[in-house]
Amino acid sequence: AQTVTQSQPEMSVQEAETVTLSCTYDTSESDYYLFWYKQPPSRQMILVIRQEAYKQQNATENRFSVNFQKAAKSFSLKISDSQLGDAAMYFCAYRRLYNFNKFYFGSGTKLNVKP
């Protein structure tokens, strides 16, 4: 079974600085998808970034980028130039290649952004 681990329950970052959120996963499959979702307080969950395991290039979306280390089964999220609006719960998620139905979520990391 796939498991996703986020070892940092809570983190803080100063506005305009960079922060990295960690995620590791366990799988025996060679191809799969990985995602980071953001859930601001009392607001809906939105997709931040996704990575296809068969692509070696790390995904980037504006200030958000990932460090995907397939051999180490690690998928960290880097947020550059942090903004107050980045404060949220961040969930790492795994999806099997051909099974679109089920996401395996990590326990989440609460990110605080200090002005």
Question: Which residues form the interface with other proteins (CB under 8 A)?
Answer: 33, 35, 37, 43-47, 50, 52, 89, 91, 95, 98-103, 105-108, 110
The distance of closest approach from Cβ of residue 61 to other proteins in the complex, given in angstroms and rounded to an integer, is: 13
Residue with tokens 């980037």: 60
Closest approach, Cβ 36 to other proteins, in A, equals 11
Considering beta carbons, is residue 69 or 105 the nearer one to other proteins?
105
Are residues 1 and 65 in contact, defined by beta-carbon separation less than 8 angstroms?
no
Pick between residue 17 and residue 31 the one whose CB is nearest to other proteins.
Answer: 31
Residue 72: count other Cβ atoms within 10 Å of its Cβ.
Answer: 9
Of 69, 82, 91, 90, nearest to 113 (Cα)? Answer: 82
Pairing status of strand 3-5 against strand 74-79: unpaired
Minimum distance, C-beta of residue 105 to other proteins, in the bound complex (Å): 4
Query: How far is Cα of residue 92 from the mean position of the Cα atoms in its chain?
Result: 4
| CB nearer other proteins, residue 15 or residue 61 | 61
Nearer to other proteins, 15 or 75 (CB): 75
